[in-house]
Structure 1
Amino acid sequence: MEKDWIIIGKILKPRGLSGELKVKLLTDFPERFAAGKTVLLKKKN
């Protein structure tokens, strides 16, 4: 079963020493993503 993926943001650069990333959200409703929320990433083909 293949999952449906949606684009929610673009990774801009690493931040800090613990592997955090700065992300530009590409959504009309940014409030749906809380700070520190875990999301799954897939490398662009």
Structure 2
Amino acid sequence: MYRWMATQSVLSGLRNARIVGRINVARFGNALLQRLMTRLMG
């Protein structure tokens, strides 16, 4: 029983980490795009 709960918590943690990673990648990509656009326009 305890083992199942541990695996469930680990799986949920991995899922959250994946979502956070996606958000970080999106933010990084947006920052890069903004820099490129400002460089092109200016």
Q: State the TM-score bracket (shorter-chain normalisation).
A: under 0.3
Could you say which structure has the larger radius of gyration? 2
TM-score, normalised with respect to structure 2: 0.18
Going by fraction, where is strand more abundant, 1 or 2? 1
> Higher relative contact order at CA 8 Å, sep ≥6: structure 1 or structure 2?
1
